[in-house]
Amino acid sequence: MKNFIIIAVISILSTTAKAAVAVTGNPLCNIYATAQNVVVSNPQNQPLEITITKRSGTIVSKMKVTGREKQIPIKDLNVGKYNVVVKNPGQQQQTFRLDVL
């Protein structure tokens, strides 16, 4: 099975969130930001593993998504740049860039 990477930029500015998504291939999920959460929409309702890492590779948080939507709180994240990595059981991977300002 062919692996692919989808990169998105999510910027959070005080109570306003902006997201821009560049998609190549068929996305595993949709992702967007609110002022307090990163929201992962899972329209295919497949089990997903979500990992948030610092850009250096240090794991900040790891969780499973088993429903159609998961809200990941980001209020406790320090200002900085992160990656949100989404994997499905077939090991397809989607990577989003998360900038907390």
Q: Which of 24, 11, 10 is nearest to 93 (CA)?
A: 24
What pLDDT is recorded for position 26?
62
Which residues, 6 or more positions from 2, have their beta carbon under 8 angstroms from its beta carbon? none
Domain segments of the chain: what residues? Answer: 7-100
Q: Is the pLDDT of residue 20 over 60?
A: no
The domain defined by 7-100 folds into Immunoglobulin-like (2.60.40)
Percent of the chain with pLDDT over 90: 23
Q: Record the pTM.
A: 0.73
What pLDDT is recorded for position 54?
93
**pLDDT (tens digit per residue) in 30-76:** 888 887 888 888 888 899 999 999 989 999 999 998 899 999 888 88
